[in-house]
Chains A and B, each alone.
Chain A
Amino acid sequence: MRTAAVLIGLGLALAASVIVAILVGAVAIAPQDIVAALAGASDGPNATIVRELRLPRVLAAAIVGAALAVAGVLLQGLTRNPLADPYVTGSSAGGVLGAVLAIAVAGPLAGGLIPLAAFVGALGAVAVVWQLARLGGHTTVLTILLAGVVLTSFAGAVVTLLLVANDRLALRIRVVVDVLVGAVNIRSAGELAMAAGIVAVGLALALVLAPRIDAYAFGDETAATLGIDTDRVTALVLVAAALLSGAAVALAGLVGFVGLVVPHALRFVIGAAHRRLVAAAALGGAAALVLADAGARVALAPTELPVGAITGLIGAPFFLLLLVRGRRLLP
C-alpha cells in the first residue's frame, strides 16, 4: 500500500513538474495558449515555442533524469556503495569522451553522431572497467570502483588534450561546454526518440534484474550462494547502467548528483528493495531534473544556465546533509 502511495505521489509530482516546466520560460505565454498549442489548435509564434522548444526540452529532461537516477540505483545496488553512480564507475566519463571525440573527428557534422558516440563511449568504459575488474579471476566491488576512478581520470585527460590540441573543438567550444557542464540540448526529434528508446530498454532491463540485485545485499559471494550467476548478472547490470548513462550524456552531457541523491533520498521513503526503488527512481529522477531544468531556464532569463550547475548547487549540499545524517549508510 505504502509503495503504491509513494509511486502515485511521485507520478503526480512528475506531472506537476512537467506542467510547471512548460508554463515557465524566457517568453511569458498564457496557460490557455499553451493548452491550445499542445492541442494543435493554434499556430502563432507562441505555439511554435511550446511545441518545438519547451515540450521536447521538458521530455528530454524527464528522460535524462529517469536514466541517471535508475543508473545510480543499479550501480549502487551492485557495488553496495551508496556513493556509486554513473560518474564513479566511469560510465559518464566514457560517454563524454565518445561525444567529444565525435566532435573532434567530425566537426560540424558531429550533430547526429554525438548520441551514438556517447552510447558507445559509455559502453566501452563499462567494458574496460569490467575487464579490469575481472583480472583477478573474479570480480570484486572494490576493483570496479577503482577501475572507474582510473578511467574517469584518463577520459578527463584525453578530453583536456583534445580541447587544447584540436581546432575543430575550439570552433565548436559551445557544444563541448554544453557536454562538459551538463546542459539539456536537443538537436533533433530523431535523437530524442532514439534516446527515449534506449532509456526504455535500460529501464525494462533494470526492472527485470532488480530482484537479483537485491541478492547482492551481503556481497558478491553471498549473491552466488543464493543462486545468482554473478558474472552474468553483473555484466547485464553494467550494460543496463551504460545504456542509461550513455543516453543521458547524449541529451544533456555531464549532469551530476541526480544519480547519487535521488536513489539515496528515495530509499528512506520506499525502502531498499530494488524493483520498487527502480520504479520510484525513474519517476523521482524525471521530476527532479524537469524542475531543475526549468530552474536553469528562468533563473537568469533570458540567459540559460546549464542544468548541471543547478543540480550541483542543490545536489551537493543535499548530499552532504544526507552524509551527515546517514553516516551509518556509508561503508
Chain B
Amino acid sequence: MTLVTSGLAAGYPSRPVLSGIDLEIHPRALTAIVGPNGAGKSTLLRALAGLIRPAAGRVALDGRDLRGLGRGEIARLIAVVPQMSETIFPFTVREIVALGRVARLGAFGRPRAADGAAVDRALRELDLDALATRRIDSLSGGERQRTVLAMALAQEPRVLLLDEPTVHLDPAHQRSTLGRIGRLARERGLTAVAVLHDLNLVGALCDRVVVIDDGRVVADGTPAEVMSPTTVKAVFGDGLVVGERAGVPFVLPSR
C-alpha cells in the first residue's frame, strides 16, 4: 500500500514541528528517515501511524485519509515497532507476539485459529520458536527487538513503521535486523519506513532515504543520490567525511 502525505504539518500548538511534508512512500522498499536530533523524524513517524492529528494537510493510505479510520482498522493495516521493548510485567515471548492480534479479537477476546496461526508464523519467521515460553525480561536486547518485530508481523500489516529499530543492538545485530526488515519489505510487498540514526546502515541496507531537517524534507532519493558530501554537510554540519565503496556510500567522523 502506498502511504502519501500531502501538505502535512504537525506538532504542538506552540511549536510546529513539521510543515509542508509531501511524500509518497511505496511498497516493496525500506525507506529510511534520517536527520539531526529534533528535526521532526519521530513526529513524522507518529503522524504516519495516525497517532497525532495533522495540524494541516493529511496522511492517506491508498487514498484513504487516516483520520477516517478507527484505531482497530489502522492496526490491521499499519504496524508500529516501538523503540522501547521493555515491559514491567513478566509476559512471555508468545504473549507479547500475540498482542499483535488484539485488533482482530472478538468482543470477548477469545483468540481464533487464525490468530494462533499468525502468531506461530511470526515466531517462526524471526527464529523465536525456541524462546516462545521465555519471559521477555530474560532475553537479550537483540532477542527482545526480534520479539517486538514479531509482534508487529503478527498484525499482518501492509505498512511497517519502525522507530530506531537498531538502537540498542551491537553492529552485527544492527545489520541482521535491518537486513531482515528490508527483505520482508521486498519479499512481502510491505511498505517499510524506519527512523534511523546510523547513516552507514542506511547507505548499505535501505532502498530510499528521506532527509528531514528543521521540520522539512531537504533531500529524498536512493542512498547513493542523497548521501553526497554537500547534503551531509548541509544537514549534519562539518566534521563528517563521506566516502563510497562498491557503490555503497558511507560516512565517517573526521579527526
By a beta-carbon cutoff of 8 Å, the part of chain A in contact with chain B is 77, 80-82, 208, 210-212, 214-215, 217-219, 221-222, 224-230, 267-268, 271-273, 275, 328-331
Contacts and interface: CB of A to CB of B under 8 A. Distances in A.
Contacts, number: 93
Nearest to A81: B88
A268 B88 CA distance: 13
Interface in B93-130: 95-96, 99-100, 102-105, 107-109
A271 B76 CA distance: 27
Contacts of B75: 225-227
B109 A221 contact: no
B99 A215 contact: yes
A218 B84 contact: yes
A229 B102 CA distance: 11
A217 B91 contact: yes
Contacts of B248: none
Contacts of A268: 90
Interface residues on B, range: 35 or more
Contacts of A275: 109
A226 B137 CA distance: 21
B66 to A, nearest CB: 12
A148 to B, nearest CB: 18
19 contacts: A208-B108, A208-B109, A214-B102, A215-B99, A217-B96, A217-B99, A221-B82, A225-B75, A226-B99, A226-B100, A227-B71, A227-B74, A227-B75, A227-B76, A229-B70, A229-B71, A271-B95, A329-B89, A330-B88
Interface string B68-91: 001110111011101011011111
B70 A82 contact: no
Given A224-B51, A229-B72, A272 B95 contact: yes
B92 interface: yes
Given A208-B109, A267-B90, A271-B95, 19 more contacts: A80-B88, A211-B102, A214-B91, A217-B96, A218-B148, A219-B82, A219-B84, A222-B82, A225-B49, A225-B75, A225-B79, A225-B80, A227-B102, A227-B103, A228-B102, A267-B89, A271-B90, A329-B88, A330-B88
